[in-house]
Amino acid sequence: MIKKAPKIFLIYLCIFAVSILYRFYGLNKRGYFPGSDASSYACIAKTYRAGFDYILRAKILRQDIGSMNDYLYDKGGQFGTAAKDGFVPIALIGSFVFGNSPNAVIYTSAFFGTATVMLLFFILSQHISLFLSFVLTLLFAVSPYHIGFSREGLTIIYSSFFLLLCIYSYAGYLKSNNLWHLAFCGLSLGFGFLCHYNIAPFILVFFASELCRLFFKLTNAKRIIAISGFSILPLFLTDLFTRSIKLYGIRQHIKMMDSFYPYFNELSRQLMLVQKGAQAGGSDIHAGKFYYFSNLFYHEGAIPSLLFSNECLI
């Protein structure tokens, strides 16, 4: 065991070095594409940071810095919601770690991209050989898709991390039957959805699997209810928080508050837009039956595509 520890440490160090190099190199020169959702996230994050700074300076430290309206207008970015409010606390923390700059969202995204690679290796090494875990994780670490999203500042990178964390927690519960693992599984799943709702298909498959297990008496209803409750909790708290902001903003006559919607309102609005886009032929599903397979081969190359095909056949 003592001899194995340095080997694992070197492997972790190698994967970390590759991951952080591809995701952080030249990131200070990176900007936002015009019309990109990432630029909107950066502006929203800037407004939340300005609100936090105002409360700290004006309300706690009692500094005379004018009205909140003027301070937010001067220091903030924009008011608005994206139905992906999970990025807000992440981006807020990121603004303190990486500095309160427009690129803080990009740096935070790169950090979570690196963390996802490390988490993947940790999970794989628990179930398969160390060498195979290293090879598979290294392929993921140099994935053009994952590198691109990690450097883009989009919320999908957060949702994929928390989705992986949910799977790890669920596997931990199956082994230990510990309620804390189940709670963490549900919270991770809910927070992943809060970061981006496009993980909804996984959630449907996950709960369909649980219902099948219930049918064959491999689980119980309490477990499904517990996971559901913990999953909904982050969404409920976020909606309550955003409704409080909306109410306070209206009473304080904050500018542009009419474009700010509580979480569930904005989620409903965006899902309607997604549905209309799909009906108009704008969804990926209209690009052909083998769209995702061809896309995988085009971006990732032959080796990951063959490995993926092998898993599908198995």
Q: Is residue 182 part of a domain?
A: yes
Q: How far apart are CA 88 and CA 268, in angstroms?
A: 19
pLDDT in the model for residue 308: 67
Q: How far apart are CA 261 and CA 242, in angstroms?
A: 7
Distances (CA, A) of 16 to 11, 118, 141: 8, 7, 9
Q: Is residue 131 part of a domain?
A: yes
Distances (CA, A) of 163 to 29, 115, 224, 257, 273: 30, 13, 17, 32, 24
pLDDT in the model for residue 312: 55
pLDDT in the model for residue 168: 95
Q: Is residue 265 part of a domain?
A: yes
pLDDT in the model for residue 2: 45
Q: Is residue 289 part of a domain?
A: no
The number of distinct structural domains making up the chain is: 1
pLDDT in the model for residue 31: 78
pLDDT in the model for residue 184: 96
Each of the 314 residues of the chain gets a pLDDT tens digit; together they read 445 677 888 999 999 999 999 999 999 888 777 677 888 899 899 999 999 999 999 999 999 998 888 898 888 877 777 889 999 999 999 999 999 888 899 999 999 999 999 999 999 998 889 999 999 999 999 998 899 999 999 999 999 999 999 999 999 998 888 889 999 999 999 999 999 999 998 999 999 988 988 888 877 888 899 999 999 999 999 999 999 999 988 888 887 788 889 999 999 998 888 777 655 555 555 566 666 677 777 777 777 777 766 655 44
Q: Is residue 137 part of a domain?
A: yes
pLDDT in the model for residue 165: 96
The packing angle between helices 156-176 and 104-125, to 10°, is: 30
Spatial neighbors of 251 by CB under 8 A, at least 6 apart, are none
Q: By residue range, what is the domain housing residue 116?
A: 4-25+33-282
Q: Is residue 291 part of a domain?
A: no
> CA gyration radius for the chain?
22
84 phi/psi in degrees, rounded to 5: -135, 45
Closest by alpha carbon to 165, among 129, 195, 136? 195
Tokens 């499904």 belong to 224
pLDDT in the model for residue 1: 45
Helix (H), strand (E), coil (C) string for the chain: CCCHHHHHHHHHHHHHHHHHHHHHCCHHHCCCCCCCHHHHHHHHHHHHHHHHHHHHHHHHCCCCCCCHHHHHHHHCCCCCCCCCCCHHHHHHHHHHHCCCCCCHHHHHHHHHHHHHHHHHHHHHHCCCCHHHHHHHHHHHHCCHHHHHHHCCCCCHHHHHHHHHHHHHHHHHHHHHCCHHHHHHHHHHHHHHHHHCHHHHHHHHHHHHHHHHHHHCCCCCHHHHHHHHHHHHHHHHHHHHHHHHHHHHHHHCCCCCHHHCCCHHHHHHHHHHHHHHHHHCCCCHHHHCCCHHHHHHHHHHCHHHHHHHHHHHHC
Closest by alpha carbon to 192, among 243, 119, 138? 119
